[in-house]
Amino acid sequence: MTIIRSASASTEPNIGKAFNQHDMSSTKKTEDTTCTQIDQLLQRNPNLWRGCNITDQGFQGLSTGFPELDDILPGQGWPQSGLVEIISRHWGMGELQLLIPLMRSISEQGQWILWIAPPYVPYAPALIQAGIDIHQVLVIKQDTSCKDALWSMEKALKAKDCGMVLTWQNWLPGKVLRRLQLAAETGETLGIFFKRKGSKYSQLPLRLQIKDSDSKNHQFSAAEITVIKARGNFRPLTTQLDLYSQK
Q: According to the model, what pLDDT value does residue 25 have?
A: 61
Q: Is 212 helix (H, G, I), strand (E, B) or coil?
A: strand
| Residue 59: band (very low, low, confident or very high) from pLDDT cuts 50, 70, 90 | low
Tell me the C-alpha distance between 20 and 129, whole Å.
76
Q: According to the model, what pLDDT value does residue 125 have?
A: 94
Among residues 185, 184, 169, the alpha carbon closest in space to that of 116 is found at 169
Tell me the C-alpha distance between 49 and 52, whole Å.
9
Structural contact between residues 192 and 167, judged by C-beta atoms closer than 8 angstroms: yes
Q: According to the model, what pLDDT value does residue 223 have?
A: 86
Task: Report the CATH architecture of 67-242.
Answer: 3-Layer(aba) Sandwich (3.40)
Q: pLDDT per residue over 16-46, tens digit each?
A: 554 455 555 666 666 666 677 776 666 555 5
| Residue 139: band (very low, low, confident or very high) from pLDDT cuts 50, 70, 90 | very high
Mean pLDDT of 73-88: 91
Q: Is 147 helix (H, G, I), strand (E, B) or coil?
A: helix
Q: pLDDT per residue over 146-196, tens digit each?
A: 889 999 999 999 999 999 999 997 778 888 999 999 999 999 999 999 998
Task: Give the number of C-alpha atoms closer than 13 A to the C-alpha of residue 54, restricted to the C-beta side.
Answer: 13
**Residue 77 backbone zone (phi > 0: left; psi -120 to 50: alpha; other: beta):** left
Q: pLDDT per residue over 190-215, tens digit each?
A: 999 999 887 777 778 899 999 876 54
Structural contact between residues 50 and 93, judged by C-beta atoms closer than 8 angstroms: no
| Residue 6: band (very low, low, confident or very high) from pLDDT cuts 50, 70, 90 | very low
Q: According to the model, what pLDDT value does residue 47 have?
A: 55
